[in-house]
Amino acid sequence: MAADWTDSLNFGLSLAKQASQVVMEAYELRTEEFTCKSSAADLVTQSDVKVENFLKSAIGSKYPQHRFLGEESVAAGERLELTDLPTWIIDPIDGTVNFVHGFPFVAVSIAFCVNRQTEFGIVLSCVDQKVYYARRGGGAYCNGRRLRVSEQQDVSKCLVVTEIGAERDDLALSTMTSNILTLLKLPVHGVRALGTAAVDMCQVATGAADVYYHVGMHCWDIAASAIIVQEAGGVVMDTEGSRFDMMSRRVIAASSSVVAHRIARAIRAFPCSRDDAEPSQ
């Protein structure tokens, strides 16, 4: 008999709401200082670390046998390894650049995996207090309202969401900008970027957008929102058209298989190492 993770989901929802309060207190002050990590677009603030430490401590106290993968913990040197053990994958503030500038799309993202399979995902959009969540086999919701993708089949009628991301070398930038040009010439209705992959993908789950794609994000950016899209009836896969792998740093989330595969044929990926790749010596 499959395990019932209802208590863990409810605990995660409670934690996300508490974390959002911490984020919003700092967001409203507009005084947060930051440092750069891998690039000028890859920022970390004291609030990122504070929220992650809060989540890590709370989860560890309630579930001492569970593992934890967090953006800032990995940035600080912890190894990123997804095992069969129950594992929480956390992005304490998805959209840190937005957070620093006061641009109103900032999220707390929490995913829970067992046997390398996501059991539930939670994305709390902090400014507008929208709580997106999904449980495997249980549907997707926003503030209690059932979500459903648009089911759009015609790529020329699609609104596309993507991000430039933190990769700023010439190859990454030229690939990302040429992909946008390619899509606009398909044509699609438009291309949008909110500055947070988690919220971007949730727009597909609501039907407000028809497809999201990106290369170069990390597992904590998309682990929660991927199951939300899937449980809303959407398709999530690799940009090459193969099975979705959250460690590959490539994703398409779409309203239909037809649209997903059409986008996969149109865009190109640039090389980036897997999240779970062995560190170079």
Residue 22: give its domain's CATH number.
3.30.540.10
**Final residue in a domain of this structure, among 146, 178, 212:** 146
Instruction: Tell me, yes or no, whether 276 lies in a domain.
Output: no
Q: What is the pLDDT of residue 37?
A: 87
Q: What is the pLDDT of residue 280?
A: 55
Domain presence at residue 22: yes
Report if residue 1 sits inside a domain.
no
| pLDDT on residue 279 | 66
Catalytic residue numbers read 71, 91, 93-94, 96, 221
Whether cis (ω within 30° of 0) applies to the bond prior to 279 is no
Query: Are 122 and 67 members of one domain?
Result: yes
> What pLDDT shows up at residue 281?
46
pTM: 0.96
- Sign, CA dihedral 69-44-9-65, equals positive
Residues 50 and 134 in one domain: yes
Is residue 171 assigned to a domain? yes
Containing structural domain, residue 133: 6-146
Domain of 247, CATH number, reads: 3.40.190.80
In a domain, 169, yes or no: yes
* Domains in the chain, number: 2
Low-confidence ranges of the chain (pLDDT < 70): 1-2, 279-281
Q: Which amino acid would we find at residue 70?
A: G
Single out the residue in 96, 121, 146 at which a domain terminates: 146
Angstrom CA distances, 280 to 168, 177, 273, 276, stand at 21, 29, 11, 12
